[in-house]
Amino acid sequence: MSTPTTGPVVSRWTMSPKKKKIAAFFGALAIVGAVAVALVSISSDTSSDAAKTGAGGLNGVCYDSYQAVSRVDQHFAFIKSKFGAVRTYQTTVEGKVNLIDAAAKANLQIAAGIWIRGGVPFSDDLNAAVSGAKRHPSNVIAVYVGNEDLVSGLGVGDVISKIQATRSAFQAAGLGYIPIGTVQTDGSWLSADSSLGNNCDVVGVNIYPYFNPSVKSDSIDDLTKRYNAVVAKYGGKVRLTETGHPSDGGGRANFGAAQNYWNQYQTWAGNNGGNCPFYFQFHDATNKGGDEAHFGLSADGSTWKYNVAPAPTTAAPTPAPTPAPTPAPTTTPPATTSPTPTTTASTTTSPASMNATKSDSNTTTTPPTTAPISGSLEGIFLDNVTLPVTLPVEDATVDATTEPSAASATTTAPVADVQQISNSAGESKDNVTLPVVTCLVAAIGVAAVALVVIRNRRKLNEDKQNDFFIDSARESSAVL
């Protein structure tokens, strides 16, 4: 019997050249996948840091509803890609669109406006605001009654009466927890009787350095000075509801200055302006003229003029505890022209006297369905206002001054916490898909390497057993 030939001793970890190449390939694939995941994570963190929001976590943009009937869904979807909230000047548009419904559909928060200077009947807009808020209570962060009415001919008493009527309607509907206020220029707030602020849960202020000839048109310092002056009088209930800079149209309008002001504003709004400051405005108002037509961050409603940092947004709103829907108002569409206000100006010092650039201080106003008076021509200056030596630190919480009532006392507010921000909500689907894919590739690579090693060890064990039997046979043969 011939003696079996013995080969070299083979280690259990030894692989064939082919298997070594396969293992090396999948190992490299696993390493690349891990590096890609790390890079994506770093990129996501950077995007979140670049998103400039308000002191309470949201940032918003003003929306002129003159194209809302045909394009509101498209506009709000585009706004959602960069902003967490919108501010409107009315709630019903021609009786065909409820802007609260539209905002909720786009998963946007909304500071809903109620127009009080003609064009839209006050009762129609109030009914639309109440019914929309009942359907989507957690989307409504505030309701602003009127916009820059004191410089347009209404008196403090007129505005207060509308605020009180609005509050009563919201309380009767079980919505007394929603903050109610009004929006006026900084000059109007500083010269107005304190009773106006006392009737507001939130004080909305519009400020435009662009219209102050004593400073640079893009002066963020002027915004800070004037905003803090209003905070000094009204405290933590103050919210910035408008500021902006036109990119064209004459005057001091300039594309570079507009872009610079926006960039400065993003940093400023991170720590100022209340829990959700609003920039004026989303898109150009082509139905207006001059620089007033070019305050938009978008020229056409579908592209941005310059880089607008993506914004984190709140989580999906929770449903109301009593979500019985209220049908939309069945009133007729608003008239196309506005009647002359029948009220007289307030007996307090009129801010109109400090507003030489105001173009809409006549006795009629443009109906809001064809671009509400946005306030970009306010330009209320503080030359005659004495500022405090030490400006107070803004309290970002809502200083609610809602008058107590049985309705508000028994209502549990399902208000969404606007400070809870999802860092991925504002990102694209690709940013979510890429890390998932890379993780899967890395996992497959690791699994493949493990499989090759296991199979190789199994083969080595089989070879070792074969060698054992061969050696045993050889020993037996030698004994014989």
Average pLDDT over residues 373-402: 38
Is the pLDDT score of 143 beyond 80?
yes
Average model confidence (pLDDT) across the chain: 73
pLDDT for res 118:
86
What angle is formed at CA 449 by the lines to CA 447 and CA 452, rounded to 5 degrees? 110
For range 172-198, the mean pLDDT = 97
Residues 416-454 have pLDDT tens digits of 333 332 333 333 344 445 555 556 666 676 676 666 666
| Both structure tokens of 97 | 């669109």
Strands 140-147 and 109-114: parallel
Burial 240-260 (b: 16+ CB within 10 A, else e): bbbbbbbbbbeeebbeebbbb
What b-and-e string marks burial along 307-331, b requiring 16 or more CB atoms within 10 Å of the CB? ebbbbbbbeebeebeeeeeeebbee
* Composition of the chain by helix, strand, coil, percent to 5: 45, 10, 45
Q: What is the pLDDT of residue 399?
A: 39
Give the pLDDT confidence score for residue 119 in this predicted structure. 86
Angle at 113 between CA 178 and CA 63, to 5 degrees: 120
**Is 60 exceeded by the pLDDT of residue 4?**
no
331 DSSP 8-state letter: P
**Residue 11 and residue 21: Cα distance in Å, rounded?**
18
The residues that bridge with 337 in the sheet, in sequence order, are none
AA letter at 476? S
Which of residues 120 and 32 earns the better pLDDT score?
A: 120
CATH number for region 52-422: 3.20.20
Q: Between 2 and 142, name the one with better pLDDT.
A: 142
Q: Cα–Cα distances in Å, from 295 out to 48, 87, 165, 233, 288?
A: 26, 15, 33, 29, 11
**How many other CB atoms are found less than 10 A from the CB of residue 410?**
9
Question: SS3 for 196?
Answer: helix
> Would you place residue 381 in the very low, low, confident or very high pLDDT band (cuts 50, 70, 90)?
very low
What confidence category does residue 321 fall into, taking pLDDT thresholds of 50, 70 and 90? very low
* Helical (H) or strand (E) element with 22: helix 17-50
Instruction: Give yes or no for a cis peptide into 90 (omega within 30° of 0).
Output: no
Query: How many other β-carbons are positioned within 10 Å of the β-carbon of residue 187?
Result: 31
Q: Do the Cβ atoms of 68 and 99 come closer than 8 Å?
A: yes
Q: Which of 437, 390, 372, 381 is nearest to 115 (CA)?
A: 372
pLDDT of residue 148: 97
What is the rounded CA–CA span in Å between residue 348 and residue 39? 60
Q: Among 205-214, 330-339, 374-383, 429-438, which is the least confidently predicted range?
A: 330-339
Q: Write down the pLDDT at residue 422.
A: 30
The pLDDT assigned to 369 comes to 45
Q: What is the mean pLDDT of residues 137-152?
A: 97
Please state, in angstroms and rounded to a whole number, the distance separating the CA atoms of residues 171 and 165: 10
The 3-state DSSP class for residue 427 equals coil
Q: Which residue has the tokens 């006795």?
A: 363
Mean pLDDT of 157-179: 98
- Between CA 374 and CA 296 the distance in angstroms is 12
Report the range of poorest mean pLDDT among 126-130, 147-151, 226-230, 411-415: 411-415
Across 61-75, 403-417, 466-480, least confident range:
403-417
- pLDDT for 308 equals 85
Res. 43: pLDDT tops 50? no
**What global pTM score does this model have?**
0.60
Q: What token pair was written down for 16?
A: 């064939």
Model pLDDT for residues 96-117, shown as the tens digit of each residue = 999 999 999 999 999 999 999 9
Pick from 181, 169, 137, 87: nearest CA to 372: 87
Task: Select the more confidently predicted residue: 63 or 327.
Answer: 63
Total H helices, total E strands in the chain: 11, 12
Answer whether residue 137 shows pLDDT above 80: yes
Task: Produce one character per residue of 423-462: b if its CB has 16 or more CB atoms within 10 Å, e if not.
Answer: eebbbeeeeeebbeebeebbeebbebbeebeeebeeebee
Residue 49 has a pLDDT of 30
Q: How confident is the model over 250-295, as pLDDT tens digits?
A: 999 999 999 999 999 999 999 999 999 999 999 999 899 999 999 9
Q: Where are the domains of the chain?
A: 17-48+430-479, 52-422
Mean pLDDT of 193-206: 97
If one compares 59 and 7, the residue with the highest pLDDT of the two is 59
CA distance 478 to 480: 5
Measured in degrees and rounded to the nearest 5, phi and psi for residue 284 equal -60, 145
- How far apart CA 301 and CA 29 sit, in angstroms, is 43
The full DSSP string for 9-21 is: ---TT---HHHHH
Higher pLDDT, 216 or 474: 216
